[in-house]
């Protein structure tokens, strides 16, 4: 690692992967790559790749346009990341509140963020979930994405009641994070969830080959995935495909996933890639070759779609930290190509202004089922004629309302690449059992020996 350019480094902080003490860290360039470099007096130095290749790291910028306005639930006493949450030093409001309604699951996945691999514990009662909803409402109001997660939330038979409770409290957009197995198994289940008020599924979808599911999920389930998607689309639930990308397992399948999403669009509303993170026990740092960074995914999209989508079509986020994600929006053209509506590096697209409500409404609209086409007899199936074209304003508007496909990627942090500058900008907050809002990555981070920072280590807040 002698080639790193400390002169161009950026000082931040992280955690020691072994003792979880807060330690200084720097982002250091090494050619086109960037590493998070940190040193613990007791456990040594760690170098973790955080950016690999083009687009260039220093050009990946966007003016932040979201500021923190919400009140704090805790005080800043021990310093970030030990005061969640959220504390006064956090810089962003939440865009998404994650409610883990069960720790049970009907799969056993080695790559899972959640707690489903541990002993079965009892599900939180509805009264406790109601209290979580009220906490979110007090902290952020109703204009926020509610994601019901787990475990696998559909193993709870009262999931429709949980969805209905959220809707009755005023939350307009409720999304279910699911592996889809129950949706495939029970013919009417998608209809039940839709009628309860679910707008969208955040759908675990790792690829188009069963060999991928055998490796990542323990068994073949591609046919079930397709059946579940079909049922969601038929019942007016927006589908967001969420592949966890693991190098050498499904990193070759990125283009196939996008091509399938285009084929199933507009019922499938987007693809949200999640490069694998490393949680749980593992005494040695994961090899940097086992990591995929944001530019790796952008370039893979371009290569594997034969340039249908290009790396330059993607833009940094305007809400969370720019190192946490990218996204792009596309509409089909009459010649079979795609029109990208986003991009980076062009200047004009990096200066857009927005607001929290605007960003949430965009995501909620994009991840919900598309509006029914004019003259359609059915409210559930979309949409406009793809041949209508985008050459006129009316055609363009019609297409973006009904046929926009979003492609995005979220780079979650584990203990090896955790960067507290990024954490303080986090907008995805897990509602912990005691009602605190914990940034998603912190909630799931574990030391090399499997010790957890937050999950399972919370005391009740006063007054809860």
Partner 1 sequence: MNFSQEAAAWSCTSCGGELSLVKVGFTYMKGNFEVDLPACAECGLVLVPESLALGKMAEAERILEDK
- Nearest approach, Cβ of residue 396 and partner 1 (Å): 5
Among the residue ranges 158-166, 287-295, 303-311, 397-405, the one whose residues contact partner 1 (CB under 8 A): 397-405
Residue 426 DSSP label: -
Scanning the structure block, which residue is given the tokens 């966007």?
62
| Under 8 Å between Cβ of 407 and 435 | no
Taking the complex as a whole, the smallest distance from the CB of residue 399 to partner 1 amounts, in Å, to: 9
- Single out the residue of 39, 72, 191, 342 in contact with partner 1 (rule: CB under 8 A): 342
Which CB atom, from 25 or from 309, has the smaller least distance to partner 1?
A: 309
Phi, psi of 206 (to 5 degrees): -90, -5
Distance, in Å, from the CA atom of 351 to the CA atom of 356, rounded to the nearest integer, reads 16
Judged by CB under 8 A, does residue 172 bind partner 1? Answer: no
Q: Which is closer to partner 1, CB of 96 or CB of 244?
A: 96
CB 359, min distance to partner 1, A: 3
What are the beta bridge partners of residue 147?
98, 175
Does residue 319 contact residue 359 with C-beta atoms inside 8 Å?
yes
Residues from 54 through 83 that contact partner 1 (CB under 8 A): none
Q: Quick one: 180 or 317, whose CB is closer to partner 1?
A: 317
Find the binder of partner 1 among 61, 118, 376, 392 (CB under 8 A).
392
Q: 42, 157, 284, 391: which one contacts partner 1 (CB under 8 A)?
A: 391
Q: Does 251 bind partner 1 (CB under 8 A)?
A: no
Cβ closest to partner 1, residue 107 vs residue 349: 349
Residue with Cβ nearer partner 1 (326 or 454): 326
Q: Is 17 in the site for partner 1 (CB under 8 A)?
A: no
| Euclidean distance between CA atoms 260 and 229, whole angstroms | 11
Residue with tokens 């055998």: 214
Per CB under 8 A, which region of 23-31, 209-217, 261-269, 386-394 contacts partner 1?
386-394
Q: How far is the CB of 326 from partner 1 (least distance, A)?
A: 12
Of 125 and 346, nearer to partner 1 (C-beta) is: 346
Check residue 363 for interaction with partner 1 (CB under 8 A): yes
User: Minimal distance in Å, beta carbon 447 to partner 1?
Assistant: 32
By CB under 8 A, tell whether 91 contacts partner 1.
no
Among 192, 380, 388, 400, binds partner 1 (CB under 8 A): 400
Q: How many residues bind partner 1 (CB under 8 A)?
A: 34
How far apart, in whole angstroms, are the C-alpha atoms of residue 163 and residue 453?
Answer: 29
The separation between CA 409 and the C-alpha centre of its own chain, rounded to angstroms, equals 7
- The answer to the question of residue 372 lying near partner 1 (CB under 8 A) is no
Closest CB to partner 1 among residues 8, 339: 339
- Sequence-ordered list of residues with C-beta below 8 angstroms from that of 151, at least 6 positions apart, any chain: 100, 101, 102, 103, 104, 105, 114, 115, 116
Q: Return the residue of 5, 362, 376, 449 that touches partner 1, per CB under 8 A.
A: 362
Q: Which residue, 360 or 442, is less far from partner 1 as judged by CB?
A: 360
DSSP 311-346: GGG-B--SSS-TTTEEEEEEEE-TTS-EEE---SSS
How far is residue 100's CA from residue 120's CA, in Å, rounded to a whole number? 14
- Nearest-angstrom CA–CA distance, 372 and 395: 15
**Residues in 273-332 that interact with partner 1 by CB under 8 A:** 317-319, 327, 329, 331
* 371-383 b/e (C-beta count within 10 Å ≥ 16 → b): bbbeeeeeeebbb
Cβ-based nearer residue to partner 1, 127 or 351: 351
Q: Quick check: helix, strand or coil at residue 358? A: helix
Return the structure tokens found at 187: 């013919």
Nearer to partner 1, 216 or 360 (CB): 360
Contacts 24+ apart (CB under 8 A), 261-265: 261/405, 261/407, 262/332, 262/338, 262/405, 264/229, 264/233, 264/239, 265/332, 265/403, 265/405
Binding site for partner 1 (CB under 8 A): 95, 317-319, 327, 329, 331, 339-343, 349, 352-354, 358-363, 365-366, 390-397, 400-401
């Amino acid at each position: 690692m002698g080639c790193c350019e400390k002169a161009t480094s950026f000082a931040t902080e992280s955690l020691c992967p072994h003792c979880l003490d807060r330690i200084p860290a720097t982002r250091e360039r090494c050619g086109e790559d960037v590493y998070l470099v940190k040193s613990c007096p007791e456990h040594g130095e760690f170098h973790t790749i955080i950016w690999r290749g083009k687009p260039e790291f220093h050009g990946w910028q966007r003016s932040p346009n979201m500021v923190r306005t919400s009140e704090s639930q805790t005080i800043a006493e021990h310093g970030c990341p030990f005061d969640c949450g959220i504390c006064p030093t956090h810089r962003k409001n939440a865009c998404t509140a994650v409610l883990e309604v069960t720790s049970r699951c009907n799969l056993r996945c080695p790559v899972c963020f959640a707690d489903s691999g541990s002993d079965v514990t009892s599900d939180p009662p509805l009264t406790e979930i109601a209290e979580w909803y009220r906490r979110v409402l007090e902290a952020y109001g109703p204009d926020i994405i509610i994601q019901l997660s787990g475990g696998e939330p559909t193993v709870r038979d009262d999931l429709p009641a949980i969805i209905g409770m959220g809707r009755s409290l005023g939350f307009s957009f409720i999304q279910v994070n699911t592996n889809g197995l129950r949706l495939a198994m029970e013919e009417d289940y998608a209809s039940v969830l839709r009628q309860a008020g679910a707008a969208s599924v955040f759908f675990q979808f790792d690829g188009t080959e069963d060999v991928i599911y055998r490796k990542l999920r323990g068994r073949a389930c591609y046919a079930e995935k397709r059946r579940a998607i079909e049922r969601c689309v038929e019942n007016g639930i927006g589908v967001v495909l969420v592949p966890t990308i693991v190098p050498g397992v499904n990193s070759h399948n990125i283009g196939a996933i996008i091509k399938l999403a285009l084929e199933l669009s507009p019922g499938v509303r987007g693809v949200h890639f999640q490069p694998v993170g490393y949680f749980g026990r593992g005494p040695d740092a994961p090899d940097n070759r086992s990591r995929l960074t944001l530019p790796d995914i952008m370039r893979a999209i371009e290569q594997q779609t034969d340039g249908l989508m290009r790396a330059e079509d993607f833009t940094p986020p305007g809400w969370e930290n720019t190192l946490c994600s990218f996204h792009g929006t596309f509409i089909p053209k009459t010649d079979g190509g795609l029109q990208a509506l986003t991009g980076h590096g062009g200047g004009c697209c990096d200066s857009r202004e927005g607001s929290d409500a605007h960003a949430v409404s965009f995501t909620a609209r994009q991840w919900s089922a598309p509006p029914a086409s004019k003259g359609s007899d059915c409210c559930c199936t979309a949409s406009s004629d793809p041949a209508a074209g985008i050459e006129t304003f009316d055609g363009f508007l019609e297409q973006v309302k009904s046929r926009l496909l979003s492609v995005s990627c979220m780079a979650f942090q584990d203990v090896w690449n955790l960067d507290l500058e990024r954490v303080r900008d986090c907008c995805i907050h897990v509602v912990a059992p005691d009602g605190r809002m914990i940034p998603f990555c912190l909630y799931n981070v574990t030391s090399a020996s499997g010790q957890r920072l937050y999950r399972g280590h919370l005391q009740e807040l006063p007054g809860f």
